[in-house]
């Protein structure tokens, strides 16, 4: 039966394995750390907002050729922006024969979305294949290789197998944070013959999640363009727990707008001769927002705001 399923997968994934550049969502960061420190960042390279309720993260555990578990996403993702999905376990749990420890609270706070308690995709290990798929089954990106078990230590950058095997110190996908190279403009839409992780990903230290929340890509990046934006600006506190945020800049602010995760404009105001403004109100309920500040010299600053 397993052999038959693998043949079916091979037939399904025949043809080009890459999508048209800058046209579909793809994974931009992968974090497999200590305990349940697990996170995936999804990047939107297109010029429009995308409804995430049409997408799911699916895990193919330990070489399984079929889906082991899935998480259907929610909300929207801004053009050139990202959404961070983390493990959702915030307390220690007894799972069969061992204690399952919680995610690092600082990593949890980085998340826009969180999955359910085990079993769920965000309990992945370095040897699991993970896909970003539409809810009707179209694969738009694959991390790893479906139906291939590289062993408990996952994949590395050593040919011909690219399996770490017993050489745990060579692993790239276990106990590492990986960032998609800026030159990558599309996901892997077909199961690769060999997963060569080093071709599209850069590796940084275990449990390093400072880069989560923004992705540098040749398709474009949501946020400040340092080559064009010359002003000093700070938005604080961020995250905020008081339904209030202050924006202070070295240039006069002309207007501020705030958009929620559904793409709805929840706040818009014009200002005169002000370089510091306070935004507050019940409209800032718990969630993720995109704040855009326009200045009198027509420069624009955009950043993500988290309200807890």
Q: What CATH code is carried by the domain that includes residue 268?
A: 2.60.40.1220
The residue to which tokens 């929620």 are assigned: 260
pTM: 0.69
Chain CA centroid to CA 261, Å = 15
Same domain, 171 and 29: yes
What is the count of structural domains for the chain?
2
Let me know if residue 225 belongs to a domain.
no
Same domain, 171 and 31: yes
Let me know if residue 82 belongs to a domain.
yes
Same domain, 64 and 148: yes
Q: Which residues pair with 300 in a beta bridge?
A: 294
Same domain, 184 and 277: no
Same domain, 237 and 198: no
Same domain, 193 and 281: no
Question: Could you list the residue range(s) of the whole structural domain that residue 153 is in?
Answer: 2-14+25-204
Per residue of the chain (308 residues), give pLDDT as tens. Answer: 333 333 333 333 333 455 689 999 999 999 999 999 999 999 999 999 999 999 999 999 999 999 999 999 999 998 888 999 999 999 988 877 888 899 999 999 999 999 977 889 999 999 999 999 999 999 999 999 999 999 999 999 999 999 999 999 999 999 999 999 989 999 999 999 999 999 999 988 899 887 888 888 889 877 544 334 567 788 888 888 888 999 988 889 999 999 886 768 899 999 998 999 999 999 999 888 888 888 888 787 877 788 88
Same domain, 74 and 144: yes
Same domain, 256 and 193: no
Token pair listed for 209? 């999640």
């Amino acid at each position: 039966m397993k052999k038959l399923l693998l043949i079916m997968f091979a037939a399904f994934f025949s043809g080009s394995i890459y999508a048209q550049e800058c046209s579909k969502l793809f994974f931009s960061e992968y974090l497999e750390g200590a305990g349940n420190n697990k996170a995936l960042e999804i990047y939107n390279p297109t010029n429009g907002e995308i409804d995430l309720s049409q997408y799911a993260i699916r895990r193919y555990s330990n070489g399984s050729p079929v889906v082991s578990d899935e998480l259907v996403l929610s909300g929207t993702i801004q053009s050139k922006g990202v959404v961070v999905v983390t493990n959702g376990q915030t307390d220690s749990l007894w799972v069969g024969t061992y204690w399952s420890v919680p995610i690092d609270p600082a990593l949890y706070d980085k998340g826009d979305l969180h999955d359910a308690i085990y079993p769920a995709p965000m309990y992945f290990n370095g040897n699991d294949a993970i896909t970003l798929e539409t809810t009707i089954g179209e694969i738009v990106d694959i991390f790893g290789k479906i139906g291939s078990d590289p062993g408990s230590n996952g994949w590395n950058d050593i040919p011909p197998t690219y399996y770490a095997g017993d050489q745990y110190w060579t692993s790239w996908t276990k106990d590492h944070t990986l960032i998609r190279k800026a030159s990558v403009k599309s996901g892997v839409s077909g199961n690769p013959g060999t997963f060569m992780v080093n071709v599209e990903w850069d590796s940084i230290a275990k449990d390093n999640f400072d880069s989560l929340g923004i992705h540098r890509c040749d398709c474009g990046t949501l946020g400040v363009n340092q080559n064009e934006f010359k002003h000093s600006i700070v938005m604080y506190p961020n995250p905020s727990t008081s339904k209030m945020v202050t924006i202070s800049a070295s240039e006069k602010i002309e207007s501020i707008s705030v958009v929620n995760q559904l793409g709805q404009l929840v706040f818009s105001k014009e200002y005169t001769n002000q370089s510091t403004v306070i935004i507050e109100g019940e409209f800032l309920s718990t969630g993720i927002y995109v704040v855009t500040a326009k200045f009198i010299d027509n420069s624009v600053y955009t950043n993500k705001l988290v309200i807890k």
